[in-house]
Amino acid sequence: MKKIILLSLLIYPFCVFLSQNIKGTVVNDIDKPIANVNIYLDGTKTGTVSAADGSFSLNATSNNSLVFKKDNYETFTVKTSEVLNKKLKVVLIKAKEIEEVVIIPFTEKAYKDYIYYFLDSFIGADKSNVKIKNQRTLKFSYDKVNKILRVKAPQTLIIENKNLGYTIDYNLEEFLADFENKITTYSGTSFFKETKNTDKVKLNRMNAYDGSAFHFMRRIYNGKVKDEGFIVNQITKFPNDKYPTEEELLQLKEYTKTLKSNPKTPITIPDTIQDIINRKNKESKYKVAVTKRDLAEADYIKKSDGKVILDFNDIIEVKYDKYFYELKNKEFVKSKFPVKQITHVHSNDETFEIYSNGNNSNPTTLMYQGDFTKNKIEFLLPLDYQLGD
């Protein structure tokens, strides 16, 4: 396995440019320049590569992350707001192979068992038109005891999306599926390269954007949530008394351990245990209820020092009537009948700064349940996308 080594970023004061420019060099740990490092604004089509002498120059905005990525080196990410108009010296340390005790190994069996689950969760439904071209570089590990799947990508994933006309260089930082708690999360950085821009592709992009989390966050920033047709309700969660108690779950866990320790013993599940199993599978841990309808934007959006902050308690419910775009007589028009979308947004007791491009300050913490979760890689658009591009 490759050891994770922190990267160094040395920042030197530099004269202030009228444009938002970042310049510098990329070197290794013995101060030798590194060529062909991919340097890009995360989630956009804006990027460059370092020259033979390690130098680079890039125009940037303050609400993106700047990514330095080269295979066999540890990826480094920094907020552009911290380095705009400064000259950088970025030191990348090459990952080294080390001997290490692996408790839960990455195996070929885990790959075969869970590759389709991964593709469904990460890519989405249309795997014929959206493909990872170097899929076999993925490594899979499954923890049977805790029912946790982990996937890592030692190399940058090259994803071809024929529907949206992009190739995406995706640096998968983490993929984790917790089957016990029914939670799947992944995070990474992405760089987009446009491959085609036909009317059909434009139509697909418009439908990917409309009603997405991306669309919703941009409307939050512009203060036009209601104008765009989004309805936001307050949701409160409370314990479900039908879900097993902690004591019952512990009882089930001990019973399961007993079965595993005596695999040849005939299984006759007691009625009490079967009842716990049934309630655990059928009931959710919490119930939710709408406690306030049609919130004013001031109920969940705060503005301070020119910043737009998403700030709410418990959960908000986002409802949207999505009218799919259609191409008729070379014009893009909306369909007559909508598809109703509902998403629950969980803040996990955090606040989030919303940026003009639809990104936020901590996208890995803001969690969705519902239609926003359908926007997987097959519908992923660059942050610099504008409707109609």
pLDDT value, residue 62: 64
Give the Å distances, CA to CA, from 211 to 24, 144, 163, 232, 373: 39, 38, 18, 13, 12
Give the count of beta carbons closer than 10 Å to the beta carbon of residue 296: 11
Nearest to 212 by CA among 253, 180, 164: 164
Residue 41, pLDDT score? 92
Task: For residue 324, count other CB atoms closer than 10 A to its CB.
Answer: 14
C-alpha 304/C-alpha 330 separation (Å) is 44
pLDDT at 51: 95
pLDDT at residue 97, as a whole number: 47
| Entry field: residues in the chain | 389
Q: How far is CA 289 from CA 119, 230, 304, in A?
A: 33, 19, 30
pLDDT means per 10 residues, the chain with 389 residues, are: 34 40 90 93 92 91 84 87 84 66 82 96 94 96 92 94 97 92 89 95 97 95 95 93 92 83 74 91 88 95 93 93 93 94 92 92 87 91 91
Please report the sign of the dihedral spanned by the C-alpha atoms of residue 56, residue 58, residue 62, residue 64: negative
What pLDDT is stored for residue 299 in this prediction? 95
**Cβ–Cβ contacts within 10 Å for residue 211, how many?**
26
What's the confidence (pLDDT) of residue 265? 66
Query: CA-CA distance, 328 to 349, in Å (whole number)?
Result: 46
* CA angle, residues 338, 342, 344, in degrees to nearest 5: 165
Q: How far is CA 340 from the centre of its chain?
A: 24
**Which tokens belong to 129?**
């038109």
